[in-house]
Every structure is written in structure tokens, then in C-alpha cells.
Structure 1
Amino acid sequence: MKKYFILYKPFLLFLATFFLTYIVMTFLYQHYLNSFAANKIDSITRLVSKNTEQILLFFSNGSWIEESETHPYVKLFYNQKYVAIITEGCNAISVIILFISFVIAFSGKFKTTLFFIFGGSLLIYLLNISRIAILSALIFNFPKQAPFLHGVIFPLYIYGVVFILWLIWVRKFSKYASKDT
């Protein structure tokens, strides 16, 4: 058994670091969410909603958001029409937690790791609000395609970006990066 532990030590350390980071960050995020009443919107989701509204206003003056009084979501209107809701699951924090956990598990130099985490998280946030805005405009124009757009295309978009960031991290900056390039 010891032979296998030594043989697979890098992989086991990666798994342990990844899951420990993921569990701790998820616990902290859940603690943050629990600080809000059951029918109240958390401040991150509110910020994502406001940023999405700002993007939509660039394309249509008939766009706005409206917080629900009874449920924890924000209604999104585009071209005077109610097209979607923004919930806590739309704020990309769970995706950012996954991204950060992977980067930390394959950590590199401390400063580089911090900059990559900050830059990658900011990029994911910005792409997520763009995703919500584009999705809203597409749902307005193609309402019958909403399940496909929301359930297939846009998850591929956001997770595809995260995957590319992971590849860049492992190949260029992590402690496992090739020193040849």
C-alpha cells in the first residue's frame, strides 16, 4: 500500500488539495448565503443583476431589472418584455470556486497563483454577465429555444472558458508547467 501511495502521491495531493479547497470555499459561500433571509437576494446576485442591466441598457433602453418581493430572484426585462430571472445560481460563484480550487491544487509561485486567480475570476465574472445579457436577448428573439440556449449552449460557453483557463494555467504557470517554452 505504501508503494502505491508513493507512486501516486502527486495525484493524491492534487485531489486532496482540490477537494479541501473546494469544500472550504463552498462552506464559506454557503455561510454567506445563509446570512440572507430565505426570500431575499444576496448582494452578489444583486450586483450581477445590476451589471447585466447595464449591459442590456447599452443595446436597449427598454431593459431593466426588478427584484421580486416574495422570492430570491431578480426579474429581467429586455425590450419591454419579461424574459428571464436571475437567481443565486446565475452569479457564477460556484464556477469561480471550482476554478480557484483547480488553480490552487496545481499551484505555482504564490504571486503568480494569486494574480491568475484574481484575473481568471474577474474574467469569469465579466463573461458571466455578458452570457446573461446575450442569453436574455436571444430568449427575447428565440423564445422557443430558451431551454436549449440556457441548458446547453451557455453552460458550454462558461465551462469552456474555465477549461481553457485551466489549460493555460497548467501549461504556462503551474509548478508542472513545461520550462521549455
Structure 2
Amino acid sequence: MKKYLILYKPFLFFLGTFFFTYIVLTFLYQEYLNSFGENKLDTITRLVGENTKQVLQLFDNKAIVEENKSEPYIMVFYKQKYIARIIEGCNAISVIILFVSFVAAFSGKLKPTLFFIFGGSLFIYILNVLRIGFLCVLVFNFPNQNQFLHGVLFPLFIYGVVFILWLIWVNKFSRYASKIIKE
């Protein structure tokens, strides 16, 4: 058994770090959400709604977002038509937690790791806001494609970007990058 622990130590260290980081960040995020109470919208989702409005106003200067008073979501109006709602799950925090957990599990030197986590998280946030904005415009123009756009194309886009960021991290900045290049 000891032989296997030694043999698989890097893999087990990766798994342990990944799951520990993921569980801690998820717990902290859940506590953050719980601080708003039931049927209350969190600040991050509100910010995503406001930023989405700014993106939509590039296409329609009358685009608005409005918080629903009885349920925790934001209604998006584009060209004076209710087109979508933004819920807590749309704010990309769960995707960012996944991204951060992976980078932490393959961590390198502290400063580059923190910069990559911060820069990557900001990049994911911005792309997510653009994704929601473009999704609203496309759903308005192609309402019959809503399921494909929302359920397939745009998740593929955001997770594809996260995957590319992970590849960049592992191959260029993680502690394993130099080992991969030398072999």
C-alpha cells in the first residue's frame, strides 16, 4: 500500500488540493448567498445584470434589466420585450470556483498563481457577461434556437475558454510546466 501511495503521490496531492479548494470555496460562496436570505438576489448577480445591460445597450439603447420583487432573479428586456432572466447560477461564480480549484491544485510559485487566478477569474467574468448579452440578442432574433443557444452553444463556449485557460496554466506556469518541457 505504501508503495502505491508513493507512486501516486502527485496525483493524490492534486486530487486532495483540488477537492479541498473546491469544497472550501463552495462553502464560502454558499455562506455568502445565505447572508442574503431567502428570495433575495445577491450582489454579484445584480452586478452581472447591470453589466449585461451595458452590453445590450450597445445593440439597443433602451435595453433594461429589472429585479423581480418576489423571486430572486433579474428580468432582461431587449427591444422592449422580456427576453430572459438572470438567476444566481448565471453569474459564473461556480465556473470561477472550478477554475480556481484546478489552478490551485496545479499551483506554481505564489505570485504567478495568484495573478493567474485573479486575471483568469476576471476574464471568465467578462466573457460570461458578454455571453449573456449575446445570448439575449440571439434569442431575440432566433427564439426557436433558445434551447440550443442556452443549453449547448454558450456553455460549450464558457467551459471551452476555462479549459484553454487550464491548458495555458499547466503548460506555461504550473510547477509541472518545466518538467513537461524538459521531457
Q: TM-score range with shorter-chain normalisation?
A: over 0.9
Give the drift of 1:178: 3.0
| Cα deviation 1:67-125 (Å, max 9, x = unaligned) | 00000000001111110000000000000000000000000010000000000000000
Counterpart residue number, 1:106? 106
Counterpart residue number, 1:4? 4
Counterpart residue number, 1:61? 61
Give the drift of 1:58: 1.5
Secondary structure at the counterpart of residue 169 of structure 2: helix
Counterpart residue number, 2:119? 119
Secondary structure at the counterpart of residue 3 of structure 1: helix
Say if 2:179 is the partner of 1:141: no
| Cα deviation 1:11-60 (Å, max 9, x = unaligned) | 00000000000000000000000011211110000000000001111211
For residues 71 and 22 of structure 1, the distance between their equivalents in structure 2, rounded to whole angstroms, comes to: 28
Stretch of structure 1 that moved more, 166-175 or 34-43: 34-43
1:10-159 equivalences under 5 Å are: 10-159=10-159
| RMSD over aligned Cα atoms | 1.0
For residues 101 and 140 of structure 1, the distance between their equivalents in structure 2, rounded to whole angstroms, comes to: 35
Secondary structure at the counterpart of residue 83 of structure 2: strand
- Which consecutive aligned stretches of 4+ in structure 1 deviate over 6 angstroms post-superposition? none
Give the drift of 1:144: 0.9
For residues 141 and 43 of structure 1, the distance between their equivalents in structure 2, rounded to whole angstroms, comes to: 30
Which consecutive unaligned segments of at least 5 residues does structure 2 have? none
Secondary structure at the counterpart of residue 178 of structure 2: coil
Could you state the TM-score of these two structures normalised by the residue count of structure 1? 0.98
The amino acid across from 1:35 in the alignment is S
Could you state the TM-score of these two structures normalised by the residue count of structure 2? 0.97
For residues 144 and 9 of structure 1, the distance between their equivalents in structure 2, rounded to whole angstroms, comes to: 50
Give the drift of 1:62: 2.4
Aligned length: 181
The amino acid across from 1:142 in the alignment is F
| Cα deviation 1:116-165 (Å, max 9, x = unaligned) | 00000000000000000000000000111101100000000000000000
For residues 16 and 144 of structure 2, the distance between their equivalents in structure 1, rounded to whole angstroms, comes to: 43
For residues 47 and 158 of structure 1, the distance between their equivalents in structure 2, rounded to whole angstroms, comes to: 19
Which consecutive unaligned segments of at least 5 residues does structure 1 have? none
